[in-house]
Structure 1
Amino acid sequence: MNTKTSGKLRPGAPVDLAVQRRGLFKMAGLGVLVCFVGLFAGYLLLPRYFNFPEALTDRFVFWARLQVFLLIWVAVGVGAVSRGRRRSAQDIRGSAYGPPSPRLAIRIAFLQNSLEQALLASGAYLALITVLAAPALSLLVSATVIFGIGRVTFFLGYERGAPGRGFGFVLTVLPTLLGYAWAIFLIVRELWIA
């Protein structure tokens, strides 16, 4: 199977770095656009239909509940790796007995990346709930939905290399990075004004 016609990369097959990078930047750009549209739409629409907490203790409860929607992707990754091991003669003995099959390696990469991204997002959300209140908390709901879409598209595109992963990766990480930047700005501003 030719990687040019199938779009999928094979282990050990040569990779055209320039093509991969062009595709990555194109898909990452699309991810940035979708991310900003999603955050903006959520900020405008969600407060019309839902009440977001004002009191700090209520905001901590809100944060704790959002964790379910982040960590579910880690659980999905754990389940995917477990199912992959059970269905493969090469993998069923476990990671201590040899390298994973290519199919399982993708699931392991998804699990590892999901764990990293969920941890980073959780920290950003925690910082933000200390400096934001309603209706700005709607952005965290939007970010969480975008995170989920990012995880799905990252996994589905993984076999197509960097361009296949790029869109999902940007959707997953960009709201988190924006969250950290915004939290740092608000914390510094609060300290500066005080």
Structure 2
Amino acid sequence: MTAALAVVALALLIGWSVGPTLSPTDRILRAVAASTVAALWLAAAIGHVAALRFTSPADIDAAAGGSPDSAQVAMAQAVLRNTLEQVVLAIPAYLALAWVVEGSGAIIPMLAGLFSVGRTLFWAHYARGAEARAFGFALGFYSSVAALVIVLVALVGRLI
């Protein structure tokens, strides 16, 4: 978890130092693109569960939608739940960052990239246990939380 936080902090430092100042419209467009990336991760997780659950007409008709390998379905559903939780944080974080922070032009795509790397690692290592998937989880989570903290600091700064 500490390593993921360090990666997010480093990415923010780099993004802050090289980021161009963009118009509000361009920042919002970047946030919409980043939000689309996050939503596509959710769509992929939903599609994965559906592919596992609905392999035959009997599966489609079944109320539980079970498949021959219910452990695999349970794992896919857990990944889906976690992805939904992560997306619920990421999308408003990207949009708020774009709306409030003028220098967020390079940061938003970097955060979306970290989110995607985190989701990939989480998904790929899920079956190996909590320790194996912790870095992926933390990378996505901390990138979204960092955006929200930056927004909060910027808003408090405007009030003071």
TM-score range, shorter chain: 0.7 to 0.9
Task: Indicate the residue corresponding to 1:11 in structure 2.
Answer: none
> Quick one: percent identity of the two aligned structures?
28
Unaligned runs of 5+ in 2: none
Q: 1:89-168 alignment to 2 at 5 Å?
A: 92-93=59-60, 96-97=63-64, 101-134=70-103, 136-168=104-136
TM-score w.r.t. length of structure 2: 0.84
Task: Indicate the residue corresponding to 1:34 in structure 2.
Answer: 7
1:144-173 CA distance string (max 9 Å, x none): 000000001101111122102201110010
2:147 corresponds, among 155, 179, 184, to: 179
- 1:151/1:68 Cα in 2 relative to 1: closer, same or farther (>3 Å)? same
Unaligned runs of 5+ in 1: 1-27
- Is 1:76 aligned to 2:49, yes or no? no
Deviation, 1:94, is 6.7
TM-score w.r.t. length of structure 1: 0.71
Question: In terms of Rg, which structure is larger?
Answer: 1
Q: CA separation in 2, counterparts of 1:62 and 1:146?
A: 15
Q: CA separation in 2, counterparts of 1:33 and 1:125?
A: 20
- 1:145/1:103 Cα in 2 relative to 1: closer, same or farther (>3 Å)? same
Q: CA separation in 2, counterparts of 1:64 and 1:148?
A: 15
Count of aligned pairs between the two proteins: 158
CA contact (8 A) 1:67 1:122 kept: yes
